[in-house]
Structure 1
């Protein structure tokens, strides 16, 4: 990995191109199992269903929704959903799936930092999940964006891969990066997709690692009260090297069961009065 000195517009353009290509690859992958989703209309894992609780009748904004499978899954559970992603190919496919499966949903193609200029609605829930934070260059703006779209007393929920894993090399055999990273984005060369590593595709990617304290502070400073922070010694997806299946939707690092954090979740409540403290 190397740092870069491109402008933020150039970084965004590059990453949008990457995710447009990944949308086409991922939609064909067994990882996403699009045909299976069309039958059961659910892509959510048990952990987020349990921690989120009932969403029936609630308005839900899904940030960085990719091509909308989780968004449509929440809609299928009774939420009134809006999904947002900066990939036009992702949003195009999400709209097609919504129409094809007759699941009502609103999808917007936008960088989430520009979303306040496009969307005026306030929501009961803001949701985001799995592999989203490293694509964001500024978590303080992220926190403010979440707060902007929540009703007072509204809920923010994230389930995400733990920042710890950003320290590991590509084979997950040793540490190669610092935990506390300050500087420009980190550039890597992606071969294939995380959903299909055999795909003949190569593209640069620019990401920003974030520490757990940075994540929590960005939410607190935006007026969100942390209800809980949970850490998990497993991944819900078999999308990293050297993982073995431990239980349903639980994959652990071989020979390191229960010893390393691979995921975390945060549930928070927007309390505008906290902004005055």
Structure 2
């Protein structure tokens, strides 16, 4: 089984757990809650009537949260189970959204062959997305080719320092096969086999720059909005922190940029 099929199978299995988890709180979303964090909302501002492409959208909570704010959204994910769940949520909430089941490399390749491919005002991707990608140059080139002139790209991602402190090699680009349960509280110790890749901050930034994305801001943040590790401590604002030798560790980072005109 190749890595794409391996990861698709794992994310099909994970989606079935995630939609029932407290972590994702689908009931809260259906009652009107947003799954987006203040950082993303502040960075992108008013998205009303903006076309927004959400890469690796999982089962669509963030995508549909942007739709609630008035964006014209399209979500892409490799898991057919996740895409079906996203479409069901869109129907339940009466939100207008397009969801496409595709590996993002295949999606970008098909779009670039079209005579007049659809271009977007905003491309958004967040939290635990880059480790599933084996070629950041192709990823960044696809983003650039899919943005309108001066269109906005925004990434919020877990910081690679977390992996380094867990004993992983910061600079390796080799595929790793790992076996672990999912991160939601209802994993029931079910083990998934996954193919992942590590990417340094310089890998990410240089890939975007080489593809023609002008970086407006790069931020490192010493907390996570999600409790995704057993050793995190929570403050009164609900943010989760990690410490190394008594010092705060950067847990997430964000990049905002725009396509050249």
TM-score interval, smaller chain = over 0.9
CA pair 68-89 structure 1, distance change in 2 beyond 3 A: same
**Counterpart of 2:129?**
132
Alpha-carbon shift at residue 249 of structure 1 (Å): 4.2
Q: Are the counterparts in 1 of residues 17 and 186 from structure 2 also a CA contact under 8 Å?
A: no
Alpha-carbon shift at residue 41 of structure 1 (Å): 4.0
Q: TM-score, normalised by structure 2?
A: 0.94
Alpha-carbon shift at residue 102 of structure 1 (Å): 0.2
**Counterpart of 2:160?**
163
What is the DSSP-based 3-state SS (H/G/I as helix, E as strand, rest coil) of the residue aligned with 1:177?
coil
**Structure 2 CA distance for aligned equivalents of residues 46 and 265 of structure 1:** 13
Structure 1 residues 194-248: Cα deviation after superposition (integer angstroms, max 9, x where no partner): 1136424112111000000000000000000000000000011011121111243
**Counterpart of 2:195?**
206
**Counterpart of 1:267?**
256
Structure 1 residues 231-272: Cα deviation after superposition (integer angstroms, max 9, x where no partner): 000011011121111243410015767621100000001005
**Structure 2 CA distance for aligned equivalents of residues 250 and 262 of structure 1:** 11
> Does the alignment pair 1:64 with 2:56?
yes
Q: Are the counterparts in 1 of residues 123 and 143 from structure 2 also a CA contact under 8 Å?
A: yes
What is the DSSP-based 3-state SS (H/G/I as helix, E as strand, rest coil) of the residue aligned with 2:6?
helix
CA pair 84-129 structure 1, distance change in 2 beyond 3 A: same
What is the RMSD computed on CA atoms of the aligned residues? 1.6
Alpha-carbon shift at residue 182 of structure 1 (Å): 3.1
Gaps of 5+ in 2: 112-116
Gaps of 5+ in 1: 1-8, 170-175, 273-277
Large movers: runs of 4+ above 4 Å = 254-258
**Structure 1 CA distance for aligned equivalents of residues 79 and 228 of structure 2:** 21
**Structure 2 CA distance for aligned equivalents of residues 213 and 117 of structure 1:** 25
> Does the alignment pair 1:113 with 2:105?
yes
